[in-house]
Structure 1
Amino acid sequence: MQINDQTDPKDYLASPERYLTMTYNRTGNSGVLLPAISLGLWHNFGFVDNLQNARKVLRCAFDLGITHFDLANNYGPPYGSAEENFGTIYKKDFKNYRDELFIASKAGYDMWPGPYGNWGSRKYLIASIDQSLKRMGLDYVDIFYHHRPDPDTPLEETMGALADMVRQGKALYVGISNYQPEETKKAAGILKRLNTPFILHQARYSMFDRWVEDGLLHTLKDNGVGCIAFSPLAQGMLTDKYIHGIPEDSRANKAFSFLNTDTVKNNIEKVKALNAIAVKREQKLSQMAIAWLLRQPQVSSVLVGASSANQLKENVKALDNLKFTEEELKLIDGIVG
């Protein structure tokens, strides 16, 4: 497939072959099909990052058949900058393709000072979607998530705000993220009573983080909701990056709160054992880690980040080999537990 690498915005035309090789999966019981691999803009798209590189990654994604771009109000840094940069690129490159895109945003984490800039109140959520739409230059998002449970706000208030976004035409569908199974069940019940299309739960899920298998996937199946998995590579551990040591410029060496050198050192033998299985499958470890998630029927899509177009292309190659033998699955379970 020919991928567009041009940098002049007036030259961008999406590849006519963009839908020929991507796999699309149904999202729960809805009519929505999502690409098996979606692009997350959590990192690499803020004001601290290179805008031209971000444009190149987004163009590459769409040319590969990735129609789903995932954002949140506080992605950056600074907060809001990923949405603003996306809006700039969207206006120049993707506006003519709006009806082919499935764009997500979220709110639930700290965004602005004071009592109305965090958690799950109606005040915060309605203000958030209005701000997000303005930053991105959109009339609506395809899905809006509550980003995390709020222990102090009634679930009825939070879900009611999501329902009203749909009624107001600001979102087509709604979702939740980081909710436990029982919370998810309650949210699904409220949204069903409000006739609101709840189609996705965005959950952290990888070979090293399997909490969703302890009830959540079953709950989602019972309620006709799909799962989209984020952090599929465990913040980079499930790659070949650390097999021969910790590079100076790696995320772990920069003391990110989500990954550090101790975590890598404690898991490196598991990483090496998993990599050996991937080599036999003629895949990179990162590709096997993505394929392993997609074996779950409830997982509609895997959300990946990318710092370059080439990295994204490598991740998409996971779709070349999605099948696992029983022996491979047992070996993996024996390594990761």
Structure 2
Amino acid sequence: MVYAADENRYEKMPVRRVSDSGLILPALSFGLWRNLGDEKPLANSREVMLKAFDNGIYSFDNASNYGPSNGSAEETFGAVYQSDLKPYRDELVITTKAGYHMWPGPLGEFSGRKTLHAALDLSLKRMHLDYVDIFYAHRFDPNTNLEETAVALNDLVRQGKALYVGVSNYTAEQTAAIIEIFKDLHTPFVVNQVSYNLLHREEAEADGMLDLLNDNHAGVVAYGPLAEGLLTNRYLDGFPADFPLHRTNANLAQDQEATVAKLNALNAVAADRGQTLAQLAMAWLLKDPRVASIVIGASSLEHLLDNVKVTDNMTLSDEELAKIEQILK
């Protein structure tokens, strides 16, 4: 059956401009990370991805190391793009990253010139694309001078393989330093993608990161908005000691009792709003216009559609915000 996108898709999802740049993103972006790769049947992945697009989620976030095995998430996206989404390429924002371990040997990670060029060529091949909309340096490279990384990213734009560049997991200091190089090169830098959620705010809020980006025509894209599922109703009675927390949220397991108490208090706020805890967590992130989009992962239609319902109530009162701050102290 030939796929035809829902004609009302753009009425279902608010969009957000990245600072004053020309890039406009849906409030929710679809991240493939661990959810859709070689362990998931392609038919399931296709169903969830197309339902996301039908609901106005036109931004798809990937990385060369996403999987579960390296590259399989990009291959999954590429298969669905080829079979169904290719006619909509001009509507789509497709992003990928390079920097974590991608292939054997010393050149298979970080942000040297050869590595970034090879990674993007491989990503484009896997996804059946001529270009991506944003190409990210996935993590700060402590061993390669920042100018080499910036010039490599800039050159990939000049070659037509990316429209914009971004960084991911950079501190405010690192971001400010690379922005200065990008300014000299006139590189279209638009975003820092960082871990950001109600329980982990340090990276996005430290050292004026949000203002730094906004002042430089860029924004934050938040990944891990639900802290790997902790910010849902599933763990109100506790979570296992081996819960697979992302490295940025690992401290939440150090005092499980305190974390669970916060989850329950936040869940009460959500219930008073007629929302799930997950929907409250996403609404809280989206209260700030400097957050350009939040990356959600979903491996089922139920999970996806539950997240999409955040758009039913995205406004938080001053009283609710004060209550949330008190809970998080």
Structure 1-normalised TM-score? Answer: 0.93
Distance between the aligned counterparts of 2:260 and 2:74, measured in 1? 35
Q: Where does residue 334 of structure 1 map in the other structure? A: 326
Cα deviation for residue 20 of structure 1 reads: 1.1
Q: Where does residue 18 of structure 1 map in the other structure? A: 9
Distance between the aligned counterparts of 1:217 and 1:15, measured in 2? 34
Contact 1:12 1:93 (C-alpha < 8 Å) held by counterparts: yes
| Aligned: 1:238 with 2:231 | yes
Distance 1:94 1:115, change over 3 A: same
Which amino acid in the other structure matches residue 224 of structure 2? S
Cα deviation for residue 171 of structure 1 reads: 0.3
| Aligned: 1:78 with 2:66 | no
Contact 1:237 1:264 (C-alpha < 8 Å) held by counterparts: no
Which amino acid in the other structure matches residue 323 of structure 2? L
Q: Where does residue 309 of structure 2 map in the other structure? A: 317
Q: Where does residue 96 of structure 1 map in the other structure? A: 87
Which amino acid in the other structure matches residue 99 of structure 2? G
Q: Where does residue 108 of structure 1 map in the other structure? A: 99
Contact 1:185 1:223 (C-alpha < 8 Å) held by counterparts: no
Contact 1:29 1:199 (C-alpha < 8 Å) held by counterparts: no
Cα deviation for residue 195 of structure 1 reads: 1.2
| Aligned: 1:59 with 2:50 | yes
| Aligned: 1:277 with 2:252 | no
Contact 2:228 2:244 (C-alpha < 8 Å) held by counterparts: no
Cα deviation for residue 21 of structure 1 reads: 2.1
Deviations 1:210-235 (A, max 9, x none): 11112211211221211110000111
| Aligned: 1:117 with 2:105 | no
Deviations 1:296-320 (A, max 9, x none): 1200111100021121111111111
Aligned partner of residue 324 in structure 2, secondary structure: helix
- Aligned residue-pair number: 323
Q: Where does residue 256 of structure 1 map in the other structure? A: 244
Q: Where does residue 143 of structure 1 map in the other structure? A: 134
Q: Where does residue 7 of structure 1 map in the other structure? A: none
Question: Which of 292, 304, 311 lines up with 2:296 in the alignment?
Answer: 304
Contact 1:110 1:118 (C-alpha < 8 Å) held by counterparts: yes
Cα deviation for residue 48 of structure 1 reads: 1.2
Aligned partner of residue 11 in structure 1, secondary structure: coil
- Taking the TM superposition and a 5 Å limit, the aligned residue runs for 1:135-214 are 135-211=126-202, 212-214=204-206
Where structure 1 has 5 or more consecutive residues not aligned to the other structure, the ranges are 1-9, 247-251
Which amino acid in the other structure matches residue 144 of structure 1? F
Question: Which of 210, 215, 236 lines up with 1:222 in the alignment?
Answer: 215
Q: Where does residue 30 of structure 2 map in the other structure? A: 39
Percent identity of paired positions between Structure 1 and Structure 2: 50
Aligned partner of residue 130 in structure 1, secondary structure: helix
Distance 1:240 1:263, change over 3 A: farther
Distance between the aligned counterparts of 2:299 and 2:100, measured in 1? 24
Distance between the aligned counterparts of 2:50 and 2:80, measured in 1? 9
Distance 1:19 1:223, change over 3 A: same
